[in-house]
Structure 1
Amino acid sequence: MSEQSGAGPANRSRRLFDLRFLISGLFLVYGVIEVVTGLLDSHAELAKADGIRINLWLGLAMLVLGLSFLLWARLRPLRPADHGEGGTDNA
């Protein structure tokens, strides 16, 4: 039973240093900012972009990318490295 109680903090520390969570968080925050900016674009900004709400589309793409990183991190969590026999190949 002591093995299971020790696995919890080690697993949490691995997830804490998983860069996929950091990357997904940044994309989600910036995606929300871009979506809000895209929804509030003025007519002058739309005219510069030839009528395309580029901030809105970019924000939606960033949200999709952030969610995909988060999904990837949840579905494929980090596993401890296997340091079995012959860990290095120095031939």
Structure 2
Amino acid sequence: MAHESSRSRGAGVFDIRLIIALLIGVYGAVITVLGAGFMTEEDIEKSAGVNINLWAGIGMLVFAALFVAWAKWRPIKVPEHTEEESDITPGQER
């Protein structure tokens, strides 16, 4: 049985970037819907004439998409061997 020290697997759903993207994406979607459908002229006047909910929501969705892309393009590699296995040299028994 050969020991491969270079074996690794991806972090998958435990990648913190995906968790952050999910949270920011959900908040971004809610704020975008609020900005697109529920802002009154009075609300827009309070924010210096800018539909701030719409723009902030779109920005959050773009941010979430960038985090997902980052996680897909540069996945985190988790080594498969444990600390106990790394202390044993090849040919040595437990």
Match for residue 50 of structure 1? 48
TM-score between both structures, scaled by the size of structure 1: 0.71
Q: How does 1:3-18 map to 2 (within 5 A)?
A: 11=10, 14-18=11-15
Superposed displacement of residue 43, structure 1: 1.3
Q: Distance in 1 between matches of 2:16 and 2:67?
A: 10
Over 2 Å off, 4+ runs: 80-84
- Residue 30 of structure 1 is matched in structure 2 by 27
The structure richer in strand per residue is: 2
3-state SS of 1:35 partner: helix
- Quote how far apart the aligned CAs of 1:44 are: 1.2
SS at match of 2:76: coil
Q: How many residues align?
A: 75
More helix per residue: 1
Given residue 21 of structure 2, which amino acid in structure 1 is its aligned partner? S
Task: Give how far 1:50 is off.
Answer: 1.9
2:58 is matched with which residue?
A: 60
Instruction: Return the alpha-carbon distance in structure 2 between the equivalents of residues 80 and 46 of structure 1.
Output: 48
Q: Which has the larger radius of gyration?
A: 2
Where does residue 41 of structure 1 map in the other structure? 39
CA RMSD, Structure 1 to Structure 2 (Å): 2.3
Share of identical aligned residues, percent?
34
Partner amino acid, structure 2, of 1:26: L
